[in-house]
Amino acid sequence: MNAPAALSHLVPDIQQRDVPPALIEALKQRFGDRCSTALAVREQHGRDESSFEAPPPAAVIFAESTQDVADAVRLASGHDTPVIPFGVGSSLEGHLLAVQGGISIDVGRMNKVLSVNPEDLTVTVQPGVTRKQLNEEIRSTGLFFPIDPGADASLGGMAATRASGTNAVRYGTMRENVLALEVVTASGETIRTGTRARKSSAGYDLTRLFIGSEGTLGVITEVTLRLYPIPEAISAAVCSFPSIAAAVHTVIQVIQLGVPIARVELIDVNSVRMVNTYAKLGLREEPMLLMEFHGSPEGVKEQAHTVQEIATEHGGNAFEWATTPEERTRLWTARHNAYFAAIQSRPGCRAISTDTCVPISRLADCLLDSVAEADASGIPYFLVGHVGDGNFHFGYLLDPNQPQERVVAEELNTKLVARALRLGGTCTGEHGVGLHKMGFLVDEAGAGAVDMMRTIKRALDPKNIMNPGKIFSV
Ligand SMILES: Cc1cc2nc3c(=O)[nH]c(=O)nc-3n(C[C@H](O)[C@H](O)[C@H](O)COP(=O)(O)OP(=O)(O)OC[C@H]3O[C@@H](n4cnc5c(N)ncnc54)[C@H](O)[C@@H]3O)c2cc1C
């Protein structure tokens, strides 16, 4: 796990609200030992995978049903007390920190797959089901759910952060793949948004409003998702390049030609070295693209051929192919281990991850200048990216005993975000705003749009109890 660091320089207006003893008493009465005030439990729920920390929530409720969530929210609302929904805690931007105090509602025990509809390619799950659990449970149907953040996140958390992952270039993000939700609102009422139908023109799109709302508007208690047939043929390849520029130009051309590639991930040479040490992989120490093709056997062959030609034009070499699941797992190990390998490469370090995303035609402009800046800074870093979407992450590895490193990393991130915004991109492709990117949201969306978000928040959560102090200040 990433090591925490002081938050005060980022969010100077932390204002802990008192949690009345009467509320804790009422929660204990309602939930018995499913309401915990043990320090270790509170601390575990008061942080995420970011490097920030704040005092933990006053209590943690382990919800087992929508009714549990509704009762907990209603009790908290009656005492004007903040509520922070908790999935598995893998978010990266301080999303879960109790910066205004309050209680955490852990939905991890709401982990049932409620109904699978193979004829319609849909599934309805409770929010604590994780993405890997879902794919295990539906394997026999021949269908799968493609969204795969690096962590085995909960589907409620993924909806709440509008997550994506390596497959988004072909299958989209949570935005495209959530059809309907059940939500407990800030007043403790339970509502439904959307249906199992593929499309709808019925009124405001409340499903999309809750997707990406980071727990600030309500607690998601059910999620209905789109599924996809497991492709007839899958083929994966890694290809090394003489430079990052060559790899990036290959990706741009592949996407612009409309090749329906399923995954295309960039791993820089620092990451390759780190995973070689961590997982003894023996990969060639050059920038690499990891690719996957889905379709019919002929379709996959054709896509792979086109991509190989483009890569070769850009100096790509050493294509290594894998068609069996075991070989594919071996090839993808480098990507999946990159974050953990990086953290281990500098023992005791803190990682700050960037998350910019730009239109594909601007990817090289954004990425290459940022690599030059990171190299010049002297800060150890790794770079990985869902580059087919124009999304990439620098992970700066900071020595907590060298505060100056943090300042330099934040400066690099600020320059990177400014560059991405200039190029028509976003400060966050998939991790969300949380605490860390609140300032960038104003730069990106503009004060008027953030004001409109505030208006919505005030209307749906007049007491400002749902995960307050995140995304924007109210
Ligand atoms: C190694 C690593 C790799 C990662 N790779 C990716 C990646 O490729 N793509 C990507 O998108 N993300 C990635 N992430 C980030 C993270 O996994 C995602 O943000 C994920 O969606 C968070 O899900 P969670 O269950 O951990 O949610 P949590 O961290 O528990 O919560 C995240 C936010 O959602 C809210 N929330 C949680 N559950 C609910 C609910 N039921 N109702 C309402 N609000 C809720 C919380 O209040 C919080 O604001 C990565 C993280 C790590 C550590």
Closest ligand 1 atom to 155 CA? 25
The C-alpha atoms of residue 208 and residue 189 are separated, in whole angstroms, by 19
CA torsion through residues 144, 149, 154, 157, sign: negative
pLDDT value at residue 15: 81
For residue 371, the SS3 value is helix
pLDDT value at residue 11: 47
Q: Which mutation among 66, 155, 161, 466 tests ligand 1's pocket best, with the greatest number of atoms within 8 A of CB?
A: 161
Whether 108 lines ligand 1, by a CB cut-off of 6 Å, is no
317-322, strands of its sheet edge to edge: 317-322, 233-240, 288-295, 263-267, 381-386, 391-398, 350-353
pLDDT value at residue 16: 84
The C-alpha atoms of residue 328 and residue 326 are separated, in whole angstroms, by 5
pLDDT value at residue 5: 52
**Stretch 245-263: mean pLDDT:** 96
**Helices of type H across 314-383:** 325-345, 363-377
CA torsion through residues 43, 47, 49, 51, sign: negative
Q: Is the pLDDT of residue 267 over 60?
A: yes
Q: At 210, is the pLDDT very low, low, confident or very high (cuts 50, 70, 90)?
A: very high
**Stretch 168-194: mean pLDDT:** 98
Q: Is the pLDDT of residue 314 over 60?
A: yes
In angstroms, what is the span from residue 161 Cα to ligand 1's centroid?
A: 6
**Stretch 407-433: mean pLDDT:** 97
Beta bridge partner(s), residue 90: none
**Stretch 401-406: mean pLDDT:** 92
User: Which residue, among 184, 170, 173, 263, has the nearest Cα to 212 in the 3D structure?
Assistant: 173
Tell me the average pLDDT of the chain: 94
Q: At 7, is the pLDDT very low, low, confident or very high (cuts 50, 70, 90)?
A: very low
**Residue appearing with tokens 């005791």:** 348
Whether 381 lines ligand 1, by a CB cut-off of 6 Å, is no
Q: At 278, is the pLDDT very low, low, confident or very high (cuts 50, 70, 90)?
A: very high
Whether 351 lines ligand 1, by a CB cut-off of 6 Å, is no
**Stretch 41-64: mean pLDDT:** 93
Contact, 112 vs 129, CB < 8 A?
yes
In angstroms, what is the span from residue 438 Cα to ligand 1's centroid?
A: 17
pLDDT value at residue 8: 46
**Residue appearing with tokens 């928040």:** 457
pTM strictly above 0.85: yes
**Helices of type H across 143-268:** 155-161, 168-171, 174-177, 206-210, 244-256
pLDDT value at residue 2: 57
